[in-house]
Structure 1
Amino acid sequence: MSEDGMSPLTSLSARVLRAFSALPPDENSCPTALPWLSFIRFTHPTALNKGMLSPSMCLILQGQKKVLIGAEVVEYGAGSYLLSAIDMPVSGQVTQATEETPYLGIRIDLDLKEMADLMIDMQLDPLPAARSGGVTYVAKSDDCLADAFLRLVAMLDIPQDLQALGQLVKKEIFYRLITAPEGGHFYQHLLSYYQGKGVSEAIVWIKANFAHPLRMDELAKIVGMSVSNLHHRFKALTVMSPLQYQKQIRLLEARRLLLSGNIDAATAAFRVGYESPSQFNREYRRSFGAPPLQDIGQLRQQGVTL
């Protein structure tokens, strides 16, 4: 319980609502004095939207959300969080939100180097993989994690405290995430990141070269792994193969190009690496539920920007 007798989640909700009170009612994101911390609010359920989730953690304070991680559909609500330790293509939608009781969340960007250094410096013991799946997952927050967030958010009103203690509480939050029961795969990914090899390096390479043909033997050589081991480890962490990951990046980038400028589908397809416009159209429709022209028209009607 906080000093006012409310639970940490209730106290956090009140503070987030107060922060949004100075913003337009249709504003969904509220930045803070900390560039890696932001608040989220939705007053109505949203359509299912696909995008690239950067390394981050979002704790739901109020409302409910549904996410598609690979082939898995996960619904979660207040007190649960979505964590991604990699750049991951996901689909998500807010399923429970009203003007009277909006969806509220807190997002913190994850600094993987800082987290890996913390893990090594504290000599944290390896955690067992307590669940199947990769390093993008939904988990339940405990009181210690929620309380750390409450203390961090409270410091936003006291700049002196924020300057002196903000980084310490950030490290505490990172520690809680690494040592959570669901953190086994996360631990191994951070260790790989710290060592600068393996799947982490493969993801960086694919993101930088997504428009080029992906040859598994060449990628395996770059990251110092066998083809079979790379494929196995990549799928264990991302719940998709390297080729599937590349395809999702290509399609998301093509969607961004189509929405942001005067460009036709064939040109977008070639720019992101497709040689066949018909194949691009088929895979685009399969991924986003509509052909490019129709999908972009719907996004523009909804006022969506990517």
Structure 2
Amino acid sequence: MKRHSELLQVLRQAVARHFRGTGHERRDIVTAIPWLTLIRIPTPTEAGRGLLQPSMCLLVQGAKQTLVGPELVQYGPGDYLLAAVTMPVSGQVTAATLARPYLGVRVDFEAREIAAFILEMQIAPPPPAQLPATYVEAAGAGLLDVVARLLALLDKPRDIPVLSRLLKQELFYHLLMAPGGAALHIAVRGSGKEQSIGEAIQWIRQHFDQPLRIETLAREVRMSASVLHRRFKAMTVMSPLQYQKQVRLLEARKLLMAGGVEAATVAFKVGYESPSQFSREYRRMFGASPKQDAEQLRQSHFAP
């Protein structure tokens, strides 16, 4: 326990040091290791929605809550949120001050990287289980130590090309060996059915603006409609139609924030046939009409 606390303190100091001399509006730093991002948020935030790409987000100071499907998960220092597949989520920083801001470390990865590592190292598959591919886990000391060495590596640019790859593989090992690692293993290296769900997710993201018929999608990924629905919900905590709806609305929000386009035009662009239905579902998801939400987002984005 002492080692765990010491490592968290090392991580807090390392992340804070990289933000030293930057204004409070600077919220993230993409480091010299392109898949390693440092995060600092000085105040609690409103709930924000987005597509979480495959990644591990380690919280080292502050607190956060994330809504994945119907489940609200709260977590704090030493916990990480892992997404093995691209997932629509809603997240909110709940504890942060100027003196003790929210601090985090995000490691991005691709599922095929972990699948290749599992094959190369011949890591045994976990017992069969149906687990969601996005979850919160308490980090062990071994995982914290790897992240601390990754941050220390930023001070040795010459070593980054070689050692960062080795440290990333070591991180994969700790993620796979953690209690929740079965979900990661199954998501990236599971049976043909799990791989078909990954294909279904990719298909929906590429065709989100088109009508979704479960029977058609099932044929695309070589599954029965009933098995597709059951397996999809087990992995993503939502049905294919719910997943498509969230992807559509998140894409609509990006288009509206860019400006210069009417809500009705955006509705048709992301696949809605009825602008009024689009507005109702948009308000239900984001708490404001498309026009109001876009104006609020632009004001907050460009505020000094």
1:203-248: CA deviation from partner (whole Å, max 9, x where unpaired)? 1111101101111111111111111111111000000011110110
Distance 1:284 1:26 in 2: 28
Alignment of 1:272-291 (within 5 A): 272-291=270-289
Aligned partner of 1:139 in structure 2 is 137
Aligned partner of 1:292 in structure 2 is 290
Give the 3 Å change call, closer, same or farther, for CA 200–209 of structure 1 in structure 2.
Answer: same
Secondary structure of 1:198 counterpart = helix
Distance 2:159 2:192 in 1: 31
Of 267-276 and 160-169, the range deviating more from structure 2: 160-169
Secondary structure of 2:92 counterpart = strand
- Structure 1 regions of 5+ residues with no counterpart? none
Deviation at 1:152, TM superposition (A): 1.2
Distance 2:302 2:203 in 1: 29
Aligned partner of 2:265 in structure 1 is 267
1:48-80: CA deviation from partner (whole Å, max 9, x where unpaired)? 111111111110000000111111111100000
Aligned partner of 1:251 in structure 2 is 249
Secondary structure of 1:82 counterpart = strand
Alignment of 1:73-92 (within 5 A): 73-92=72-91
Deviation at 1:22, TM superposition (A): 3.5
Deviation at 1:192, TM superposition (A): 4.1
1:81-107: CA deviation from partner (whole Å, max 9, x where unpaired)? 011111111111111001111110000
Alignment of 1:149-164 (within 5 A): 149-164=147-162
Out of 165, 168, 177, the position equivalent to 1:167 is 165
Aligned partner of 1:61 in structure 2 is 60
Q: TM-score, normalised by structure 1?
A: 0.94
- Structure 2 regions of 5+ residues with no counterpart? none
Aligned residues: 303
Aligned partner of 1:8 in structure 2 is 7
1:101-156: CA deviation from partner (whole Å, max 9, x where unpaired)? 111000000221110011122221222478x7511111100000000111111111
Aligned partner of 2:200 in structure 1 is 202
Give the 3 Å change call, closer, same or farther, for CA 6–284 of structure 1 in structure 2.
Answer: closer
Distance 2:111 2:302 in 1: 29
Amino acid at match of 2:255: L
Identity of aligned residues (%): 50
Deviation at 1:195, TM superposition (A): 9.3
Secondary structure of 1:303 counterpart = helix
Asked if residue 227 in structure 1 is aligned to residue 242 in structure 2, the reply is no
Distance 2:63 2:128 in 1: 26
Give the 3 Å change call, closer, same or farther, for CA 129–17 of structure 1 in structure 2.
Answer: farther
Amino acid at match of 2:269: R
Distance 1:246 1:141 in 2: 32
Deviation at 1:161, TM superposition (A): 2.9
Give the 3 Å change call, closer, same or farther, for CA 194–219 of structure 1 in structure 2.
Answer: closer
Amino acid at match of 1:184: A
Deviation at 1:256, TM superposition (A): 0.8
Deviation at 1:2, TM superposition (A): 11
Aligned partner of 1:112 in structure 2 is 111
Q: TM-score, normalised by structure 2?
A: 0.94
Of 154-163 and 39-48, the range deviating more from structure 2: 154-163
In the TM superposition, structure 1's runs of 4+ consecutive aligned residues that sit over 6 Å from their partners are 193-196
Aligned partner of 2:236 in structure 1 is 238
Amino acid at match of 1:114: E
1:27-49: CA deviation from partner (whole Å, max 9, x where unpaired)? 00011111100100011111111
Aligned partner of 1:302 in structure 2 is 300
Amino acid at match of 2:6: S
| Equivalent residues of 1:197, 1:224 under 8 A apart | no
